[in-house]
Structure 1
Amino acid sequence: MDVQEIADRLEITDLLARYSRAVDSGEWDLLDEVFSPEAVIDYRSAGGIRGGLAEVKSWLAEVLPHWPGRLHLIGAPRIVLTGDEARVSAPFTDTLAPTRDMAAADAKGFLHGGGWYHHRLRRTSGGWRSQELVEEQSWRTAR
C-alpha cells in the first residue's frame, strides 16, 4: 500500500464517520460533506425512500426526530479503490430510541437493526464524496 492509498482509506473511513454523526445528531447539512450534490440515496430496504440528497435530507429531518436517541455503528469497511473511484461496503448496526432518557430494557418504541451500507464514491476537489448509497437492511427488531 502506498501513501496515497493509505490517505484515501483514512479519508473514506472519516466520510463514514461523518455520515453516522450526521444521522445520529440531526446535523443534516453535514451530509453535504458525505454526498455529492447529485448523489442518489436508497433506503428502501429499510422502509425508507430513494431520492436525491436534498429530498433525503428533508425526509430524514421529518422522520428521525421520532427517535431522538439514535446510534449507528459502522464496522470495518471493505474499500476497493480504482483511481478516483471507490466501492465501499460496510456493515452497520443501529438503534433508534424514543427517548434520550433512561428507559427500561423492555420499554416500547425501540428499533434495532443492521445490514450493509454500499457506497459508490468519487474523488472530488473537496475530497471523497458518495455518488450513491444503497442501504441493505439485513434485520430489524422493534419493541
Structure 2
Amino acid sequence: MDLAEKLDALEEIRKVKARYCRFVDTKQWDALKNLFTPDCRFDGSGGGMGEIAGRDQFVAEAAAGLAGCVSVHHVHNPEIEFTAPDLAEGVWAMQDMLRWEEGSSSPLRSLHGMGHYRETYVRVDGAWKIVAWAVTRLRVDVVPA
C-alpha cells in the first residue's frame, strides 16, 4: 500500500467510526448495520455489557437498549495501524453520555462513560467495515432510575 492509498484508507476508516457515532445517536439502525460485516463480533464485557455475535444481533440490542434514550458518543485520537492491505486495527479514546426518559424501562436515568474502543476493520468490495470491536470504560458515572 503506497502512501496515497494508506491516507485514503485512513480517512475512510475515520468516516466509518464517525458514522458509527452519528448513526447510534440518531438511531439510524439500518445505516448502522451497513458499517459492519455480517459476522462481526462485539465485546462489551469491559464496559458492563456482554459479547454479541453478528451485526443483526448487535443492532437489535443497541436499538432496544437505547429506546427512550438520548445518547451522545464522541471518539478522539485514533491510532490506526494496517496489518495487511485490506485489514487494519484501531484504538479510539471515547466518551459517551446517555440519558433515558423518565418512565423508560432502563434501570438507569443516565450514564457517562469514558474509555477506549479497540477495533478491527476489513476492506470488503472496496468499503471498510468493522469486523470486531470492544469497549473498555475507564470510568463510568451513573444515576439510577
TM-score by length of 1: 0.87
The superposition leaves residues 51-96 of structure 1 with CA deviations (integer Å, 9 ceiling, x where unpaired) of 12111111111111142x2100000210001321100100100100
Deviation at 1:126, TM superposition (A): 4.5
- SS class of match (2:10): helix
What SS does structure 2 have at the residue aligned with 1:47? Answer: coil
Q: Please name the residue that 1:102 is paired with.
A: none
The aligned residue for residue 63 of structure 2 is 61
- Structure showing the higher strand proportion among its residues: 2
Is 1:79 the equivalent of 2:80?
Answer: yes
Long gaps (5+) in structure 2: 102-107
Aligned counterpart, 1:105 = none
Cα RMSD, aligned residues only: 1.6
Shift of 1:110: 2.1
Contact 1:50 1:56 in 2 (8 A): no
The aligned runs of 1:116-127 (5 Å cut-off) are 116-127=116-127
| Cα distance between partner residues in 2 of 1:63 and 1:126 | 32
Match for residue 29 of structure 1? 30
User: Whole-Å Cα distance in 2 between the matches of residues 109 and 86 of structure 1?
Assistant: 36
8 A Cα contact 2:33 2:59, kept in partner: no
CA distance in 2, matches of 1:80, 1:15: 15
Query: Hey, what's the Cα distance between the residues in 2 that align with 1:121 and 1:77?
Result: 13
When the two structures are superposed, what TM-score results if normalisation uses the length of structure 2? 0.85
State the identity as a percent.
25
Higher helix share: 1
Aligned residue for 2:112? 112
- 2:132 and 2:117 map into 1 onto residues whose CA distance is 10
* Cα distance, 1:142 vs structure 2: 1.2
SS in 2 for 1:56: helix
Q: Secondary structure at the match of 1:110?
A: strand
